[in-house]
Structure 1
Amino acid sequence: MQRRDFLRLTVLTPLAALSSRLVAGTAASGMPVERMPDGQSHRLELSSQHFLLDGRPFQIRSGEMHPIRIPAEYWRHRIRMAKAMGLNTIAIYLMWNALESAPGIFDLKSGNRDFVRFIKLCQEEGMWVYLRPGPYVCGEWDFGGLPPYLLRHPDVRVRDKGDPDYMAAVRRYLDAVAPHIAPLMVGRGGPILMVQVENEYASFGHDLDYLKLLRSMWQERGIEGPFSISDGLGQIQKQQTYLPGAVLGLDGDTDFEAAQKIAGEAPVWIGEGYPGWLTHWGDKDFARGDYAGTLRQLLEQGRSFNLYVVHGGTNFGFGAGANAKDDYSHFEPVITSYDYGAPIDERGAATPDYHAFRKLFAAHAQRPLPEVPATPPVIRFAPVTPVAHASLWDNLPQATPVRAPQANELLFAQDHGLVLYRRKIHGEGGALTIDGARDYATVFSDGLYVDAVSRVENPRLRKGSRVDLPRGKGKSALVDILVDSFGHVGFGQAMADRKGIVGSIRLDENVLEHWDVCSLPLDDGFIRQLKPVVSAPSRAGIFFKATIRLDQLGDSYIDMARWTKGYLWINGHLLGRYWNLGPQQRLYCPASWLRRGDNELLVFDMHQTVAAPIEGVTSLHA
């Protein structure tokens, strides 16, 4: 989706000049022609600025949701919720980096990665699919969906047809997914109506030949289209990156008349209409939206559209991305929840917007809408106080000596998690300045916590990258800098957002060299090998563990309001990040990740040495 706030338009521009075209987009009865995927071959044509399905006008009423953000056990429920609201199409991103964890290592089947199964469920439920497979998607996802392993190439230029490393990876990705997509296209009896080429490219570059190359690469692999692009109208006008013959999707804009002048005879539609918005760590509150007025006009005029999003889901694990200005300043990491203020909330419940939108759809429907599915059950559990399980400092791997700091991706081929920089400093303390700490660091002197620095610019955080080390009397001190990372920037020009420390470390303006560096990726392998503590540790950097016993199962929100900053696992599943900076204080836990009887909670906190209670509650908001 578009990051730029100025694209959040909610008022349609006058369309009187297009009235004759709108009439042509409806059936003789004045109602949109309805078709449902039935396993037979169909044809979506782009003709006279309209969508034609099997030769008859067709209105795409789409809502976006992303399989990787939804527990697979709930896929059918969420699809049914979208259908009951009045939609006929589901739009989905494929997050490349969720499917290829390392070069050539693909997983298209496990958990919520099985996008083929999701698409087939859409077809079973009578819903068409609008596929947005990237390679770049944005979506507030880590690195915009690109695999962070690309950042292991020091000079890589992503989204650039002239970069051999990037394009080799793109070809490998398309080779892996295209054979699964081709049989699901509408012309072969599948539900996929059209495929988007890249995403919001005009907000990044101006090389139209790059988009043409991607389209030809899909075609070479058996995907004949139709194809679409989606972007802000102003960006397309400026960069002149309209892909000839493609459906033109407007993101956050409704100036169809101006867009049609660019698209010629190809249809123009709302590629992304925003009923809600994203939320960053440090925002005052969760973002909301107001789209009812725009939706009413779209329905009255027979316009095709895609709601971004109808259901957001959750940035489980390390999935949450980040935004920044093009010079890497004003870093804004995305919270773990992707609730987005969407009509269907994070755990699948209908919101007031859902019911308002459903009334609008019902007023324009040819037949009664399906009943709204029941919301999955939700449970509480009583407060439990974890105990210290392991100390990070007892589980340090062998250090790698470096002369100067290097990014995690370059030094360790590490995409996420923590990294530790360690060095003895002789003489008195002083002002320690950490340039390029990405993204949050705690500093210790001889094992004692000194201070923290954060890349997030927020009035509630201390500004600057300087930490005052305690003054000694000619002694040496062991300085530890523990760096935690958020997601990689996924929008704009700041795409080489490598993690760790990417600048110099100085003491009273003197550059400090020769550091010992430890890789701490917090992945499954690292967590499994943790050595338990013998006695209660007193130094921050502790893994805490608790057992909760459940007699019944249901979704829950785990309240972390009394903790500081870190990560939470349940039964080995990483729910995501928490941070008392807010506004999110509760992490969604799906019922499918719980079990009757004993359940294991594991917490890693960057600051706390004393555990606080944790409890299960029934909603994201207090």
Structure 2
Amino acid sequence: MKTMKLVFSFVVMASLLMSMSLTSCQPAKPEHTFEIGKDDFLIDGEPYQIRCGEMHFARVPKEYWRHRLQMTKALGMNTICAYLFWNFHERTPGEFTWEGQADVAEFCEMAQEEGLWVILRPGPYACAEWEMGGLPWWLLKHDDIALRSTDPRYVEASQRYLKEVGRVLAPLQITNGGPILMVQVENEYGFYSDDAEYMGVMRQAILDAGFDVPLFSCNPKHTLKRGYRDDLFPVVNFGADPADGFAKLREILPEGPLMCGEFYSGWFDTWGTPHTFGNTEAYLRDMEYMLKEGASFSIYMAHGGTSFGFWGGADRPFKPDCSSYDYGAPISEAGLTTPKFFETQELISRYLMPGEEALPEPPAPMPSTTFEKVTLTEFAPLFDNLPKPVVGDEPKNMEYYDQARGSMLYKTTLPAGPACTFSVGAANDFAWVYVDGEEVGLMDRRKRNYNVTIPARKKESTIEVFVHAMGRINFGKEVHDRKGLNAPVKFETNGKEIKTGQWEVFNLDYNDQYLADLKFTERKEPNTKPGIWKGTFTVKELGDTYLDVSTWGKGVVWVNGHALGRYWNIGPTQTMYIPAPWLKKGENKILILDIVGPAATTIEGVEKPVLDQLKPENDFSGTRRNQGKLTIDSKKPVHKASFKKGGDAQTVKFGKTVKGRFFCIEALNALDNNRYAAIAEMDILDKNGKAISHEDWTVAYVSSEESSGENGIAENAIDGQTFNFWHSSWSITKPEYPHQLVIDLGSETEVSGFVYVPRMQEDAAGRIKDYQIFVGNDLVKK
């Protein structure tokens, strides 16, 4: 490792008006300096502890930006994070949008007016549970592109985007009198790869874009050294144990201010898993440690907001994210105070910097409203409202047809013959298969079941495959997430392929023109085939409200042309946030796309959200996973050992390569001698010692998991996120050791070892001591 050269004395002179109310007289603008010193961040030569709040302007209606900034200031923050999502600004190659909801310059100027500095995080990759981590879908039109690498196609597109970012935001740096103090290069790249050259290319692109403030990188503590460069100031991300996180940071930053780039206030929700409230006691304890130590931090999230429209992403290997991004943050999804808000405010008020004024009171909450229950009776079946098809010899993925989002209908003919198997390489993300209009099977990416039996046919039959896409995966190598049907696509009988007719492909991206052209008919009863319902509701007084969608199946909602996001009756969210600026006093129009059909076509505006109500019995695919039967009793482990104490990631090499489709870790006991087991993350290494992609992985078996008292499901151990974790059951049952977790790798794979990340929280409950590993093709029987 190179020693960090703390020549980060970026002494900058600028004129900046800070901490002035909108009604105050404006005195002469003072001059300010900002530098990264030997021990502290310095503003005007004085130590400055950055207390930053993460808030995504794209997740908050523009009309509410100022209110949320004022809320963040009242929380105790002196800085705001501005995260940019590349795909939000360049939806078509070379065409940029910086107006309206995408006007980040106005957002930064507004922050300055409210007395907040700005830390800019422009990407090009962001993550943030956002569609494809902020990368634009059209990059995937290149079948062999290597994202987040020095692939010239990716680099050229990234440079073009960052140049635009500089054109818009470089004038707002502190060096030009603006609020931007620092700019982040990439995001958590050490988790993705170890290419310092790539990080250098991205750094240079930001410099070339006109940024002259300090540039920094951020990573989780166990990947800080991957892709490290001594010309980027490093910060560390964590949600627990700040002492250990900063100790790891000191290994590459021997002197200089310490900062946590993402300090997690809670966590995001994925469909079908419990809502995360966050551990407030631990959050406050860790924040106080940083306040006492003079360390800087950014609360992720201070205010989460909503992933409106189709912008929500998916966790890996495939756990689609909820539209609500409440996050258990101090400021709620609708911008309201919470108990965590006031506890954070009280804590920070005891650690204000010398000369700092008392924290302001939060602004008044926005008005709220409700509306009475109404029934929607107009229905437009999707199969009766199809656009002109694209015709070809074989079906392709969504990106091939220049489609960014939504659904696709693939249609062909199959000759008469005996029953056959229809299989695809992948159906991303859910596919319903019809023969002559009758549903015969379902493909579900969560289970990776990509085979459907087609019944015997006495005559030529029409095959229709309706594919609905959720958000693209936003983390890890799996961001290469192509939607629709992925090759190979084939029909077979006894291993012999059957030739079909030509394929017609219908693109259903639910754009404004498509929605305007829909043909509706009156319908009194719910329909189980995909379609869009239309109706109106009346609002007497304007205000924020929550749409009760608990009787609906799965789909998307539009109110007065604004896409609220996705809903799914499996929960945990059963409502959708409607901000007042999107409503009208009197009649309001609503469209509801339902893929699987509602139980009842009623809607209602309610006063409070429902964020924590799971209904697994509603899942159209049955249980979340196909739990098999464990068969390791007669098997010999390929490896047996003990994990070290502490929260560090541990790499285990077998000394030889073994083959198998299934990888089983059997935990035999715990370091604390308790009955619980937990794993934050598992990576499995191939024959060359490299981490295997999680794309084809599923959980084949788990002895127990916690899904009532907290989100401790087994999939958390393979999603790439080290803050959440698999935890054996504790709220209803409390099984003793041993505990087993079996990962299905998708096919027989050569394995040379694995990486184990223990639960990160300081209390260390569930950290495993002794364990054994099994690898084979028959560890689990279906």
Instruction: Provide TM-score, normalisation by structure 1.
Output: 0.88
Counterpart pick for 2:484 among 476, 486, 500: 500
Paired residues, what number?
574
Q: Deviations over 1:97-135 (max 9, x none)?
A: 11111011111012x211111111111110111110111
Change (3 A) 1:535 1:303: closer
Q: State the Cα distance separating 1:80 from its structure 2 match.
A: 0.7
Q: State the Cα distance separating 1:184 from its structure 2 match.
A: 0.9
2:213 matches 1:229:
no
State the match for 2:122 in structure 1.
Answer: 133
Q: Deviations over 1:571-608 (max 9, x none)?
A: 11111111112212211111111001110110111122
Task: Give the match's secondary structure for 2:565.
Answer: strand
Counterpart pick for 2:437 among 439, 447, 460: 447
Task: Give the match's secondary structure for 2:118.
Answer: strand
Q: Is the 8 A contact 2:266 2:278 kept in 1?
A: yes
Task: Give the match's secondary structure for 2:182.
Answer: strand
Amino acid at match of 1:357: T
2: distance between equivalents of 1:132 and 1:609? 40
2:358 matches 1:368:
yes
Task: Give the match's secondary structure for 1:198.
Answer: coil
Q: Is the 8 A contact 1:244 1:263 kept in 2?
A: no
Q: Is the 8 A contact 2:376 2:535 kept in 1?
A: yes
Q: State the Cα distance separating 1:561 from its structure 2 match.
A: 0.9
2: distance between equivalents of 1:266 and 1:224? 19
Q: Deviations over 1:308-349 (max 9, x none)?
A: 01000000111101122xxxxx31111111111111010001
Change (3 A) 1:154 1:465: closer
Unaligned runs of at least 5 residues, structure 1: 1-33, 325-329, 458-462
Deviates more, 1:427-436 or 1:294-303: 427-436
State the match for 1:213 in structure 2.
Answer: 201
Equivalent residue runs for 1:101-112 within 5 Å = 101-110=91-100, 112=101
Q: Is the 8 A contact 1:391 1:533 kept in 2?
A: no
2: distance between equivalents of 1:323 and 1:506? 31
Q: State the Cα distance separating 1:507 from its structure 2 match.
A: 4.5
2:475 matches 1:491:
yes
State the match for 2:68 in structure 1.
Answer: 78
Structure with the bigger RCO (C-alpha within 8 Å, sep 6+) is 1
Task: Give the structure with the higher percent helix.
Answer: 1
Equivalent residue runs for 1:572-587 within 5 Å = 572-587=561-576
Equivalent residue runs for 1:90-101 within 5 Å = 90-101=80-91
1: distance between equivalents of 2:577 and 2:454? 39
Q: Is the 8 A contact 1:277 1:289 kept in 2?
A: no
Task: Give the match's secondary structure for 1:52.
Answer: strand
Change (3 A) 1:361 1:287: closer
Task: Give the match's secondary structure for 2:584.
Answer: coil
2: distance between equivalents of 1:353 and 1:510? 62
Q: Deviations over 1:43-65 (max 9, x none)?
A: 22111142111211100000100
Task: Give the match's secondary structure for 1:102.
Answer: coil
2:450 matches 1:465:
yes
Q: Deviations over 1:130-187 (max 9, x none)?
A: 11011111111001111111111122111112x2221121122122120221111112
Q: State the Cα distance separating 1:568 from its structure 2 match.
A: 0.6
Q: Is the 8 A contact 1:434 1:506 kept in 2?
A: no
Q: Deviations over 1:436-494 (max 9, x none)?
A: 0000112222222334322124xxxxx7233344555x133212110010111111111
Task: Give the match's secondary structure for 1:581.
Answer: coil
State the match for 1:480 in structure 2.
Answer: 464
State the match for 2:174 in structure 1.
Answer: 186
2: distance between equivalents of 1:153 and 1:57? 48
Task: Mark the structure with the bigger radius of gyration.
Answer: 2
1: distance between equivalents of 2:588 and 2:387? 29
Amino acid at match of 1:465: Y
2:578 matches 1:597:
no
2: distance between equivalents of 1:108 and 1:41? 29
Equivalent residue runs for 1:242-253 within 5 Å = 242-252=229-239
Q: Is the 8 A contact 1:49 1:264 kept in 2?
A: no
Q: Is the 8 A contact 2:90 2:97 kept in 1?
A: yes
Q: Is the 8 A contact 1:542 1:609 kept in 2?
A: no
Q: State the Cα distance separating 1:426 from its structure 2 match.
A: 2.7
Q: Is the 8 A contact 1:388 1:542 kept in 2?
A: no
State the match for 1:414 in structure 2.
Answer: 403
Task: Give the structure with the higher percent strand.
Answer: 2
Q: Deviations over 1:402-430 (max 9, x none)?
A: 333321102x1111011111122233444
Aligned-residue identity in percent: 38
Q: State the Cα distance separating 1:431 from its structure 2 match.
A: 4.2
State the match for 2:710 in structure 1.
Answer: none
Q: Is the 8 A contact 2:257 2:295 kept in 1?
A: no
2: distance between equivalents of 1:479 and 1:490? 32
Change (3 A) 1:544 1:611: farther
2:512 matches 1:524:
yes
Amino acid at match of 2:329: A
Amino acid at match of 1:348: G
2: distance between equivalents of 1:550 and 1:86? 36
Change (3 A) 1:357 1:301: same
Change (3 A) 1:510 1:534: farther
Q: Is the 8 A contact 2:19 2:113 kept in 1?
A: no
2: distance between equivalents of 1:315 and 1:505? 36
State the match for 1:389 in structure 2.
Answer: 379
State the match for 1:347 in structure 2.
Answer: 334
Q: State the Cα distance separating 1:40 from its structure 2 match.
A: 4.7
Q: CA RMSD in A?
A: 2.2
2: distance between equivalents of 1:280 and 1:245? 33
1: distance between equivalents of 2:350 and 2:367? 30
1: distance between equivalents of 2:120 and 2:497? 50
Change (3 A) 1:35 1:360: farther
Unaligned runs of at least 5 residues, structure 2: 1-16, 21-27, 614-782
Equivalent residue runs for 1:254-293 within 5 Å = 254=242, 255-290=245-280, 291-293=283-285
State the match for 1:168 in structure 2.
Answer: 156
Task: Give the match's secondary structure for 2:478.
Answer: coil
Amino acid at match of 2:197: D
Q: Is the 8 A contact 2:378 2:522 kept in 1?
A: no
1: distance between equivalents of 2:227 and 2:508? 44
Instruction: Provide TM-score, normalisation by structure 2.
Output: 0.70
Change (3 A) 1:506 1:178: same
Counterpart pick for 1:568 among 546, 552, 557: 557
Change (3 A) 1:41 1:340: same
Q: Deviations over 1:165-223 (max 9, x none)?
A: 21121122122120221111112211111010111111111111222222222222221
Amino acid at match of 1:297: Y
